[in-house]
Every structure is written in C-alpha cells, then in structure tokens.
Amino acid sequence: MIGTGYVGLVTGTCFAESGNEVVCLDVDASKVQRLRNGEIPIYEPGLEELVTRNAAAGRLQFTTSYEQAVTGARCIFICVGTPQDEDGAADLAYVRSAAEQMAPWLSENAVVVCKSTVPVGTNRQVREWISALTQTVFHSASNPEFLKEGAAIEDFTRPDRVVVGVDTDYAAETLRELYAPFLRTEKPYLVVGIESAEMIKYVANCLLATKISFINEMANICEKVGADINDVRRGIGHDSRIGFAFLFPGAGYGGSCFPKDVRAMASVAERHGGNARILRMVDETNNQQKQVLFQKLRDYFGDSLRQRTIAIWGLAFKPRTDDVREAPAITLIENLLAAGCSLRVHDPVAGQNIRRIFGDRLHYCAHHYDTCEGADAVCILTEWNEFRNPDFEVLRHHLKSPVIFDGRNLFDPHKMAARRFHYAGIGLAPLHVISPDN
C-alpha cells in the first residue's frame, strides 16, 4: 500500500485481516512511527483494533522504504492523495512520485493498482511513468474505492460490488483472488476497461452529490412556499425510481470526496471540450447551502448578532469520523467569527482537527450541554447520535433563550413548538417564534 491515508490504511488492514502479508508505505516518517506504535492517525470505528491485531500477528507492517514495500509484492496499490489544483483539477504529483519510486523494485508480473481517485487516462500515464524507468513486465489496473467514512470496515469487508479496470486477464484474475474472501455472498466482481473504472468512481460521487444539492435546493424552496421538506421527501422517496438515499436536506455536504470529485469531473469535461453545467451548478448550490444557517441566524438576531454567544454541536462533515475537510461547520464558524460572535463548540472526535484551524478563537467544550452555558442559540451541524435525544429542560436551563438552528433536521418541529423552543431547520417553517430579546 503506497500511502497510509484513509483509503490505504483501511484497505491494507482489511487485506491483512484476510490473511495476506501487507506492507504500508508512507513518506511521512513520523506517521509511520506512530502507526508502528499503534497510534491511528484517523478516527474510523473498528480500525484501531484491526491494525493492532494484524500488526501483532506480523501480517501488517509500516515503512518509509519503497524497496521494503515493493520488492516481491504481487500487487502494489497506489493510495495517495489527489488534491485539487486552482482550477479544480486533480493534482497527480503524488501519484507520479509513487509510480516513479516503485519502478526499480517491481517484481516480474506485479500488478500496479491505482486506488486513488484519478481522472480518466491516469492509469495509462502511470504505466508510462513506470515503463520509462524499468524493463520489468508488470500489469496495470484501476480499482476505485467506495468506502464511506464512519462505515469503511463494513463497506470493505461486505462490499456492494468490487470494480476493477484492467487490460489483461492476469490482472483481473489476480485481483479476483485477492478480493475473493469479501465476495462470498455473491456480490458482483465487475471487470471493465481501465478508463471505465476511472469514470465509475467519479460518476458515482457526482450523482450522489447532485442528489444532495437537489434536495437542499428543494428544501429552500419549501420554506419560501410554506411546504415541509420532510413531507415532500417522503412523498417522492417511495417512488422506486428515486428512493430515499441521499435525500436528507442539510447544511451542505463536505468531506474529502464529493467536493473534490465534482470539481475534478467538471474540469475533466471542460478540458475535453465538454460543458459541465450540471456539475458546476451542483458545486455552486452546495457552497450556497453552507451559508443557510448563518443567514437564518442573521435574520433572527439582526444587528444584535455581534454581541451573541453561539453554541455549535458537531464539527465533522458527518458522524462517525473526525474528518473536517470542507465541513459546513467551518463555513459557519468563519462567518460567525467575522460577525463578532463568541463560539462554544463540541464534537465527540473532531475537536482537535478544528483546533488546528481556528486555534484559541473558539471555546472547546467537553460535552455538548457545556456549549449551551450562557449561549443565545444552538446550531447543529453534524447528526451524531448523542445529539438526537437531548434533555430539553437542561438546554432551556443553560441557554439564555430556547433557540435552536438545526442544520440536520434532527427534531420534530411540532414537538419543538410544544416545548416552546424557537426551532429552525432546513426546509421547515418555524412553528413557534421567540423574540431574541426575550
């Protein structure tokens, strides 16, 4: 495994768990040493136990040496980052570096597998980069990942499907053998062309991102016309052509995949003379959606927002992860700080990652109830389970006034009105309004 980020570490560990000998490589020596010491650099439920067990059994090793990692390996997976450049295109510098540094150590008939999310044509480039530095016969493959943060172990060990893009039968059969333990429930092993495999990952993420932006836009329209997005969502979700997945309105999507992949796919289309109108609008709609909660706060408090203390529940872009990349909470925090607010924040696992961004400008609380002490309002950005059934009397006691702005629609607005809370969600008209000065 070249790269010990989210994809590389989860993939390598799960392969080791099924009996393979896996060496994970990273150029960050301090990160490698932490992994050797049993410290996991990311939060993913179940991962620490698997890493510890397989490292102790000798099936999982960590190194900074390409010679150690690549020599004798039947499969080499490229799992490095592909950050976006100024135009939104994927930056392939890390992919190229991995390809060139592995070249001298490849064994005959090794399969070089690109698991990083890369634009169409990248695997062909990887082959060219390696071939320029070695005469060793090797095979190329694309193997897109479909891991959801927070459920990655389950997704890997019980996949919906495994997709491999190859141009030789040898590569297809080698990867089939590797994945066989995870396909015993007759889930499909899909062998396609390399370019098709590269497209599959982008198309899947772009379609899911489009569903999110679509339902968010519909939610905003519902507020304007007096409809309830939850009723609308139920009404359309039972249509088998539509379904309920990714039809939950919110404060915008974030993370390492959807924002980057939507922009990268649009950039690929435009470089080839296409017009990516839908993808550009999906991205624009999502960026606008991240402003919705701040606009609600500004509308509610008016000119007095500057003096307010705001509590924020949830900092990660989704529950069961500490990933804050492009999280809606970051946009809200930036807006509220610029407006002169004091912020009290809590997340079960992502606090340290937010602290690296904002430092001491925020007050970090050990419990979500603690954020409410003296706060003028609560904003909910992440749907952690512990936020779903709070003691509303405790909240009322700690808050200056019972006001909640919910970016994930966790509560029933009718019940919140009965509790005499001012409750504003996404696509919901508030049923009970409390003046910010009372």
Tell me which residues are annotated as active site: 257
CA 20 to chain centre: 27
Rounded distance, CA 30 to CA 41, Å?
Answer: 11
Per-residue 3-state assignment (H helix, E strand, C coil) for the chain: CECCCHHHHHHHHHHHHCCCCEEEECCCHHHHHHHHCCCCCCCCCCHHHHHHHHHHCCCEEEECCHHHHHCCCCEEEECCCCCECCCCCECCHHHHHHHHHHHHHCCCCEEEEECCCCCCCHHHHHHHHHHCCCCCCEEEEECCCCCCCCCHHHHHHCCCCEEEEECCHHHHHHHHHHHHHHCCCCCCEEEECHHHHHHHHHHHHHHHHHHHHHHHHHHHHHHHHCCCHHHHHHHHHCCCCCCCCCCCCCCCCCCCCHHHHHHHHHHHHHHCCCCCHHHHHHHHHHHHHCCHHHHHHHHHHHHHHHHCEEEEECCCCCCCCCCCCCCHHHHHHHHHHHCCCEEEEECCCCHHHHHHHHHHHCEECCCCCHHHCCCCEEEECCCCHHHCCCCHHHHHHHCCCCEEEECCCCCCHHHHHHCCCEEECCCCCCCCCCCCCC
